[in-house]
């Protein structure tokens, strides 16, 4: 049931790390080579200078890079930053190919450090990186002036977008019909174009075209993707203002969030998701009274070390437990998973046989590996721990699935979805039943972004390293509970790793009795509540 397919480099932190490491190694070799050569002929000198300038401009002041000498940490600084990663992929795809051509005659062995891949990076990888940038700007409603200057969540990250980058991202947004963003990026390109290689008239022509396309959507509202527009036409502003129209208009993204963001209705789940990702949980004071913190010691297993537990939400109940997986186990799990990461599957991007058909799918942008934890001696205790925390049967192979390890690189996310299969044609549904519950370990916490949002409950769980969250996906009668839908907010800076254990329905029949009423829920009952 776990199909595999080719994976875009952008989706895998492991692959990105390999490319970043290779580029830094190559750069040192190139600089050493240039010191020994008295004279580099044109056009080679121009190509090399252009490449070096872009590298220096992108990484020279990058947070965590400029003052670091360790190669792994330098590569990590690049791949943890959305702008630096996009620029690296763009530079390797467009600039480095030329440098390679000019250096090959010297046969210096400079390129042997690049990942032994069948193919060089392609435009597809660069486009996926641009889509990622558009995604975080859209979901987090970033001010593009600050974002393009590398200021993210008020912090100077040191890597910026220049006029040409803004122009190219604007063009890509236009092709994807994300017209408000395309107008905003073209305006940024105009603003930055004075000291740039890109001509103002070229940017203006594209900007005007985007405005025309944008305004045409208002004449045919059936066709438009409303969330990517402004609330009104732009053309009427042209007579009044000579320039930056987007500042005089509100985006639909903001308007929709203001009107529907706090409504916990399935219809508005995507809007609630943006709001939760951006602003955090939206519980009322009354709802907060239903929550609790406690030390879980209901099982003799925990008498020595009770588990710190927190009820984050009711309906459905979501519990976060802290310090439940050690750094050593995390490292081992990541090590095993890293050997076989491939593009994450969803019902949206696979065919009936489980084969990946659309690897450019933007609904879920992560990579996945399946680990049979019951067969790895040092990981076997994890299933026992989950069994003790949840009170469900977990250590029997028929009761669960293998551990699904998922890794999100820069801008990686998983749109709102339900874990319940709800589909009896699933290969092992007949023997195991649906996914009764999800138990998810957080293995690596990004610096910004990456929370797990539950739009129907109005809460987010923060991806605290070493913690785990647990919830039920179905009612007592085994029917999917729509309230359990959730999403993984885009990672903005850093990387995120999680591991899911899905607990199946049939093996629990002795412990979790079937309900007689429709929509009868499972509850998680705290023990030994710590009073505020």
Per residue in 12-23, pLDDT (tens digit) is 898 899 999 999
* pLDDT attached to residue 6: 59
- 313 in any annotated domain: no
pLDDT, mean over the chain = 85
- 384 in any annotated domain: yes
- 214 in any annotated domain: yes
SS (H, E, C) 42-97: CCHHHHHHHHHHHHHHHHCCCCCCCCCCCHHHHHHHHHCCHHHHHHHHHHHHHHHH
In the Cβ-directed half-sphere of 244, how many Cα atoms lie within 13 Å? 13
What pLDDT, in 10s, does the model give residues 258-295?
888 888 888 888 889 999 999 999 899 999 999 999 98
Least confident of 139-148, 341-350, 473-482: 341-350
Question: Is the sign of the CA dihedral 390, 395, 401, 404 positive or negative?
Answer: positive
Domain end, chosen from 216, 231, 248, is at 248
* pLDDT attached to residue 4: 39
- 255 in any annotated domain: no
| 242 & 329 share domain | no
Question: Is the sign of the CA dihedral 136, 142, 147, 150 positive or negative?
Answer: negative
| 242 & 340 share domain | no
* pLDDT attached to residue 227: 85
Domain end, chosen from 216, 248, 280, is at 248
Percent residues over pLDDT 70 in the chain: 87
Decide: 487 and 440 in contact? Cβ < 8 Å: no
Q: How many domains does the chain fold into?
A: 2
| 80 & 223 share domain | yes
How sure is the predictor about 121, in pLDDT bands with cuts at 50, 70 and 90? confident
| 101 & 189 share domain | yes
* pLDDT attached to residue 172: 97
Q: Stretch 57-77: mean pLDDT, rounded?
A: 89
| 392 & 498 share domain | yes
| 202 & 112 share domain | yes
CATH code for position 175: 1.25.40.10
Can you name the residues that pair with 308 across neighbouring β-strands? Answer: 295, 322
| 350 & 240 share domain | no
* pLDDT attached to residue 242: 55
| 235 & 333 share domain | no
Is the whole model's pTM more than 0.85, yes or no? yes
| 344 & 237 share domain | no
Neighbours of 300 (CB within 10 A): 8
C-alpha to C-alpha distance for 242 and 472, rounded to whole angstroms: 55
* pLDDT attached to residue 532: 47
Domain end, chosen from 248, 268, 286, is at 248
Residue predicted with more confidence, 197 or 240:
197
What pLDDT, in 10s, does the model give residues 131-190?
999 999 999 999 999 999 999 999 999 999 999 999 999 999 999 999 999 999 999 999
* pLDDT attached to residue 442: 98
Domain range for residue 445? 325-508
- 256 in any annotated domain: no
pLDDT at 115 over 90: no
C-alpha to C-alpha distance for 486 and 415, rounded to whole angstroms: 8
- 499 in any annotated domain: yes
| 199 & 333 share domain | no
- 232 in any annotated domain: yes
Can you name the residues that pair with 406 across neighbouring β-strands? Answer: 368, 498
| 108 & 22 share domain | yes
C-alpha to C-alpha distance for 104 and 523, rounded to whole angstroms: 65
How sure is the predictor about 347, in pLDDT bands with cuts at 50, 70 and 90? low
Q: What's the CA angle centered on 126, arms 125 and 128, to 5 degrees?
A: 65
Q: Stretch 201-219: mean pLDDT, rounded?
A: 91
CA-atom Rg of the chain in angstroms: 25
What contacts 437, CB < 8 A, 6 or more positions away? 390, 392, 470, 471, 472, 473, 502, 503, 522
Residue predicted with more confidence, 442 or 34:
442
* pLDDT attached to residue 450: 96
Least confident of 100-114, 117-131, 211-225: 100-114
CATH code for position 343: 2.60.120.620
- 426 in any annotated domain: yes
| 65 & 199 share domain | yes
In the Cβ-directed half-sphere of 467, how many Cα atoms lie within 13 Å? 18
């Amino acid at each position: 049931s776990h199909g595999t397919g080719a994976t875009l480099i952008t989706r895998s932190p492991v692959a990105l790390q390999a490319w970043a490491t290779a580029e830094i190694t190559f750069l040192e070799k190139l600089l050493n080579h240039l010191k020994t050569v008295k004279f580099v002929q044109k056009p080679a000198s121009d190509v090399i200078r252009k490449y070096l300038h872009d590298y220096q401009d992108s990484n020279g002041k990058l947070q965590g890079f400029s003052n670091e000498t360790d190669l792994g940490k330098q590569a990590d600084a690049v791949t943890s930053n959305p702008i630096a990663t996009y620029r690296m992929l763009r530079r390797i795809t467009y600039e480095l190919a030329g440098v390679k051509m000019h250096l090959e005659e010297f046969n210096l062995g400079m390129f042997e450090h690049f990942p032994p891949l069948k193919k060089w990076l392609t435009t597809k990888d660069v486009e996926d990186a641009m889509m990622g940038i558009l995604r975080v700007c859209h979901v987090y409603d970033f001010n593009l002036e600050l974002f393009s200057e590398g200021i993210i969540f008020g912090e100077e990250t040191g890597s910026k977008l220049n006029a040409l980058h803004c122009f190219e991202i604007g063009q890509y947004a236009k092709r994807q019909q994300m017209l408000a963003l395309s107008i905003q990026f073209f305006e940024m390109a105009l603003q930055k174009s004075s000291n740039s290689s890109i001509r103002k008239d070229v940017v203006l022509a594209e900007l005007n075209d985007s405005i025309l396309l944008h305004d045409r959507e208002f004449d045919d509202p059936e066709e438009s993707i409303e969330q990517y527009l402004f609330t009104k036409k732009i053309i009427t502003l042209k007579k009044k203002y000579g320039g930056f129209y987007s500042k005089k208009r509100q985006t639909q993204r903001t308007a929709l969030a203001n009107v529907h963001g706090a409504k916990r209705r399935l219809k508005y789940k995507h809007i609630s998701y943006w709001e939760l990702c951006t602003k955090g949980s939206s519980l009322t004071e009354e709802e907060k009274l239903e929550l609790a913190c406690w030390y879980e010691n209901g099982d003799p297993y925990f008498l020595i070390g009770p588990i710190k537990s927190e009820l984050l939400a009711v309906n459905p109940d979501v519990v976060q437990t802290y310090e439940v997986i050690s750094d050593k186990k995390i490292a081992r799990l990541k090590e095993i998973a890293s050997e076989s990461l491939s593009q994450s599957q969803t019902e949206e991007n696979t065919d009936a046989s489980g084969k990946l058909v659309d690897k450019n799918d933007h609904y879920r942008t992560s990579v996945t590996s399946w680990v049979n934890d019951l067969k790895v001696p040092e990981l076997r205790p994890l299933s026992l721990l989950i069994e003790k925390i949840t009170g469900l049967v977990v250590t029997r192979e028929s009761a669960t699935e293998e551990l699904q390890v998922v890794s999100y690189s820069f801008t990686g996310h998983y749109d709102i979805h339900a874990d319940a299969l709800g589909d009896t044609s699933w290969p092992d549904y007949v023997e195991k039943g649906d996914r009764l519950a999800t138990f998810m370990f957080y293995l690596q916490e990004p610096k910004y972004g990456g929370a797990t949002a539950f739009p129907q409950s109005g809460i987010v769980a923060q991806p605290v390293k070493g913690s785990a969250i647990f919830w039920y996906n179905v009612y007592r009668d085994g029917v999917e509970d729509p309230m359990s839908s959730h999403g993984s907010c885009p990672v903005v800076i850093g990387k995120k790793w999680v591991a899911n254990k899905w607990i199946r329905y049939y093996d629990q029949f002795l412990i979790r009795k079937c309900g007689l009423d429709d929509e009868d829920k499972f509850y998680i009952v705290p023990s030994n509540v710590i009073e505020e």
